[in-house]
Structure 1
Amino acid sequence: GPCPVETSGTRAKFTLSNSVTEDWSAAIICNNGNVLSLSVQSPANARIGRYFLTMESQDSSIDLGEFILLFNPWCPGDSVFMTDERKLKEYVLTQDGIIYQGTVEYITSTPWNFGQFEGGILDVCLLLLDTNPKFFKNSDKDCSRRNDPVYITRVVSAMVNCNDDKGVLYGKWDGEYDGGISPLHWTGSVQILRNWMTAGCLPVRYGQCWVFAAVACTVLRCLGIPTRVITNYYSAHDTNSNLIIERYIDEKGMSVNKSKDSIWNFHCWVESWMTRSDLKPDYDGWQVVDPTPQEKSEGVYCCGPAPVKAIKEGEVALKYDVPFVFAEVNADVVFWIKHPNGKQEKAVYPSQVGKSISTKSIGSDTREDVTHHYKFRDGSPEEREVFLKADHQHKLTQKPQTDLDLTIKVSDGMNNGCDFDVFAVITNRTSVEHFCRLMFCARTVSYNGVIGNECGMKDLLNVTIPANQEKRIPLRVLYSKYGDSLTQDNLIKLMALLFEYQTKDLLLAVRDIYIDNPKIKIKILGEPAQNRKLAAEITLHNPLSVPLTDCLFTVEGAGLTDGQQIQQAVGPVDPGQEAKAKVYFTPRQSGLRKLVVDFDSNKLRNVKGYRNVIISPAPK
């Protein structure tokens, strides 16, 4: 810090001795004429940051240099200590990973280059700490708390967004990204953090939840805190803390009487590993830290650290922000249907929030489901006990039983550029015939739940469901209808509304579907070796009925591309033809690496792909 003092733990004075101790200490390990080699020991609870080392004698002072001290998860006395070597490799040392997107029924894998050890990134992370408002308010107090991962993660959560400070990312969700870069175009954190530093701490435009989470993951891993990115499907944003998300729609699925509450198709945050000395020992371990600016916590747009165990157990009084995260995975959803005559009616809807909570597995690119860390089994006595503890009365209310069931099913081949069928499935569980009206619509939608244009509609006034039978009603979704209005998230929301004439039951089924992009093919040419030039051949097939223009491949990889993005434009690509590019790079680090590729064009946007490459070490 600018004014280091011993009482704040930001300055230490110690004498040379024969051996080091567990506190600040130094010992001579070699005295070779004019060269004196020292071993300097720091305590496990030392403040992280940049230190200057000076040797003083009675009549002189010599600057020995500087060093940067980080959290040490290999040290048993450190508050981020982790015992499992495989976890340490994955959550601290690995510079790339997978972030999960798509829908709960069709989970997609997005590669990401965290790049926490790329050149200059540590300097950016230290600058981030020194730019936070708490540092400017009281630098001594701020620096004195930099041995506490609870404090550090809270600062990082606030500083990754720019809502209250000179934070890294400007969030934008409206689909208009003039003056910046679409959140979906980013493939890594390195360029974002460097751009922020180069611009004098002006926010980088633009980010959305997975970008905020990925940048936070880079910063926290760089500082030595084990961290992983988490995706929660059907994630609730409960603005009034009543654990109920109320949605108001008309008969065609359009939002009306907009509520501030929302359901995001998915939402990303990070988990960081630490002890919670401010809480009971039961709540050590993984903590939710969410840098996406959603609600204020203690007057600042940040969230966490919230113990995952406290979220599961409904301990909503614990620090920090447990009620908000509890709602994200447990809130109930209520749909109100507004009819043309102005009447509002509550629909019977099987609420689904907090599904398939996902993270990348240790040592592989497969998905690990961690939902059981956050929630007890649906309908279990433990779940009921948690809802009682959290005063979640709506979840405890018995849901109404109906004679009919309504679900939505889809067909294979929901690929960008194709027409496809979806089905409203009505099941009659009684021994009598039922007569209904069915409204079945498809609309484009953003991942945060904002409804777009209609791309399919069917309104059937007279649907007969025979006793003890099932009826499938198809809806054809045409590329000519969805192609121009599909959001960058490639999502379509299907809504089926069923009105039973005799019982007056109103049933609703909702399903989001992901429109699949073509796969990027990546071929490595030559033998991958450290410090040897390598080429990658990249191709993408145009499945659309129109040409692709403004085509651009963007390539990067930690340890592969010198911390830089490689961009290559290609000419127009006719229907059925391939976009092709060849890029060259020189790997600087050996081992397993990820080459991450993004393809952008006027019609196919932000298509992602990656290739794992094993780089052999340079000969000695």
Structure 2
Amino acid sequence: ISDGVHPGAWIGSGDILRQWAESGPVRYGQCWVFAAIECWSLFLLFDDISNYYYLDDDPQFYSCSEVYSDLLVCWNFHVWVDSWMTRPDLGQEFDGWQASDPTPQETSEGVFCCGPAPVKAIKEGELTKKYDAPFIFAEVNADIVDLVRLSNGEFVKFSGSTKSVGRFISTKAVGSDDRHDITHKYKYPEGSKEERQVYEKAQHHNKLQQRGAEPGLHLKIKLADNMIVGSNFEVFAVLTNNHMKARTCNFLFFARAVGYNGKLGDGCGFASDKVEVPSGEGERLSLKLEYDSYGSAITSDRLIQLSAITIDKQTIDFCKAEKTIVLDEPELEIKLLGEATLNQKVTAELSLLNPLPEPLQDCSFTIEGVGLTDGKPITAKIGSVNPKQEAKASIEFTPTTAGSCVLLGNFDSNKLRNIKSFINVTVNFSGR
């Protein structure tokens, strides 16, 4: 990016707000950047909300069919904001947490905005409550069904392909840095009586129709224990035959790079076989993912989408399993060399081991922290780092606020982008 900052490079909102105040619009941000800015810039009680496996589509389609095109996009995650406020326009019943999305993908009455919508209304299927409740309901409840079009034009559904969006809806825990799951605030437990009532109220009949027996052929993808970027590893697709008779299937297993917004990139692995699976037994197909293949394909999101497909031509039965993996990143270590004292210089040492089998170029470390770096990022450029070697830098800063603070760190290079970490720092009034 030559005309701005990569969205993943920001480590604090202070620099963004300062640039905006001094020179106007700031480039560039994504959903997590806008959500963080909203939390810091408005004086309300806010939570940043992360929704995993998020649908970007028209809110009227609670069931969406994916016919191998780029028209439907499922993001790996999306971030919006919950804010606590009263709703005199709706009544006291809907006071409390309200969902709003600073980066909606659709317009609302011709304007790119979304919310505020009562979280209670979303959970209860009250989709007439303002604002944009149908859109947010779809973001956390829609189903995606994969279809294949046969040579005769007929569409056939993949068995086991239905994917529900809105998993692990999360925010930061109060008083700790742990993930706090709030899925129960947005939806009732899967299969519960309350869930059925909500879907009926919202006319979301597709999910009700899905309750039934397990598919005759069942596919599952199993991952390796160690999948750090730069390494070679194997993943497996396991096919189980629940039919009373043996089945002969064409077995396909492939991998493609994917962005966090669901946009597919180049392929980076493929395996195929023809297997006969006895009744009640299983077969597995392995796929080796090598850095030489995926290294040039993946984006800075470090995501790979795995897809396994079986085709039983005797019964015209298509089965599919899909999983998106996040390659582990090397750990960015931050430590203070001495105690942090108000208005006195202290040094932070940052280090990271290059896990790639090739050198890293244009390497740099950046730190930033409210009350620690005067609201500005401080960067140290270190040049290149050889394979399996350690990158290291020491950066001085002067704390301006006593008490508990957070020091954020970022490592950037041409091949490993925006590796982040943080430490909690206690700033003393004196050196004692």
Q: 1:398 to 1:543 in 2, by over 3 A?
A: closer
Instruction: Give the match for residue 459 of structure 1.
Output: 272
The counterpart of 2:182, out of the listed 370, 373, 381, is 370
SS of the residue aligned with 2:78? Answer: strand
390-399 or 377-386, larger mean C-alpha shift: 390-399
Q: How many residues align?
A: 430
Alignment of 1:186-225 (within 5 A): 186-199=10-23, 201=24, 203-220=25-42, 223=43, 225=44
Instruction: Give the match for residue 424 of structure 1.
Output: 237
1:185 aligns with 2:185: no
1:301 aligns with 2:125: no
Deviations 1:178-197, CA, capped at 9 Å, x for gaps:
31111111111111111122
1:313 aligns with 2:137: no
Deviations 1:97-147, CA, capped at 9 Å, x for gaps:
xxxxxxxxxxxxxxxxxxxxxxxxxxxxxxxxxxxxxxxxxxxxxxxxxxx
Is the strand fraction higher in 1 or 2?
2
Matched-pair contact (CA < 8 Å) for 1:419–1:479: yes
365-374 or 338-347, larger mean C-alpha shift: 338-347
Q: 1:521 to 1:341 in 2, by over 3 A?
A: farther
Deviation at 1:471, TM superposition (A): 2.2
**Whole-angstrom CA distance in 2 between matches of 1:265 and 1:208:** 13
**Whole-angstrom CA distance in 1 between matches of 2:230 and 2:107:** 41
SS of the residue aligned with 2:407? Answer: strand
Matched-pair contact (CA < 8 Å) for 2:271–2:286: no
Gaps of 5+ in 2: none
Deviations 1:328-383, CA, capped at 9 Å, x for gaps:
00011021234678764322213221100011000100110000000100011100
2:81 is matched by which residue type in structure 1?
V
The counterpart of 1:598, out of the listed 385, 405, 410, is 410
The counterpart of 1:232, out of the listed 51, 57, 60, is 51
The counterpart of 1:407, out of the listed 220, 236, 240, is 220
**Whole-angstrom CA distance in 2 between matches of 1:614 and 1:346:** 57
Instruction: Give the match for residue 126 of structure 1.
Output: none
1:530 is matched by which residue type in structure 2?
L
The counterpart of 2:252, out of the listed 436, 439, 447, is 439
Alignment of 1:71-86 (within 5 A): none
Alignment of 1:140-151 (within 5 A): none
Instruction: Give the match for residue 77 of structure 2.
Output: 266
Q: TM-score when scaled to structure 1? A: 0.67
The counterpart of 1:490, out of the listed 265, 285, 302, is 302
SS of the residue aligned with 2:351? Answer: strand
Q: 1:340 to 1:511 in 2, by over 3 A?
A: farther
Instruction: Give the match for residue 116 of structure 1.
Output: none
Instruction: Give the match for residue 385 of structure 1.
Output: 197
**Whole-angstrom CA distance in 2 between matches of 1:404 and 1:589:** 61
Deviation at 1:293, TM superposition (A): 3.5
SS of the residue aligned with 1:372? Answer: helix
Matched-pair contact (CA < 8 Å) for 2:145–2:162: no
Alignment of 1:544-583 (within 5 A): 544-583=356-395
Gaps of 5+ in 1: 1-176, 250-255
**Whole-angstrom CA distance in 2 between matches of 1:463 and 1:315:** 49
SS of the residue aligned with 1:297? Answer: coil
**Whole-angstrom CA distance in 2 between matches of 1:344 and 1:207:** 39
2:17 is matched by which residue type in structure 1?
L
SS of the residue aligned with 1:205? Answer: coil
1:384 is matched by which residue type in structure 2?
R
Deviations 1:519-571, CA, capped at 9 Å, x for gaps:
01111111122222111110010111111110011110111100110011002
Instruction: Give the match for residue 284 of structure 1.
Output: 95
1:186 is matched by which residue type in structure 2?
W
Instruction: Give the match for residue 139 of structure 2.
Output: 328
SS of the residue aligned with 2:342? Answer: coil
**Whole-angstrom CA distance in 1 between matches of 2:16 and 2:150:** 47
**Whole-angstrom CA distance in 1 between matches of 2:340 and 2:314:** 70
Q: What percentage of aligned pairs have identical amino acids?
A: 48
1:506 aligns with 2:323: no
Larger Rg: 1
Instruction: Give the match for residue 288 of structure 2.
Output: 476
Deviation at 1:243, TM superposition (A): 1.2
264-273 or 288-297, larger mean C-alpha shift: 288-297
Matched-pair contact (CA < 8 Å) for 2:143–2:162: no
Give the number of the structure with larger relative contact order, counting CA–CA contacts within 8 Å between residues 6 or more apart.
Answer: 2
SS of the residue aligned with 1:415? Answer: coil
304-313 or 342-351, larger mean C-alpha shift: 342-351
**Whole-angstrom CA distance in 1 between matches of 2:395 and 2:149:** 55
Matched-pair contact (CA < 8 Å) for 2:235–2:288: yes
Alignment of 1:510-525 (within 5 A): 510-525=322-337
Deviation at 1:218, TM superposition (A): 1.2
SS of the residue aligned with 1:184? Answer: helix
Q: 1:535 to 1:619 in 2, by over 3 A?
A: closer
**Whole-angstrom CA distance in 1 between matches of 2:203 and 2:285:** 40
Q: 1:548 to 1:342 in 2, by over 3 A?
A: farther
**Whole-angstrom CA distance in 2 between matches of 1:405 and 1:216:** 44
**Whole-angstrom CA distance in 2 between matches of 1:319 and 1:301:** 15
The counterpart of 1:607, out of the listed 387, 394, 419, is 419
Deviation at 1:284, TM superposition (A): 1.1
Q: 1:303 to 1:618 in 2, by over 3 A?
A: farther
Deviation at 1:242, TM superposition (A): 1.9
Q: 1:410 to 1:606 in 2, by over 3 A?
A: same
SS of the residue aligned with 1:181? Answer: coil
Deviations 1:218-264, CA, capped at 9 Å, x for gaps:
112xx2x0101110001112225121222222xxxxxx3x32x3211
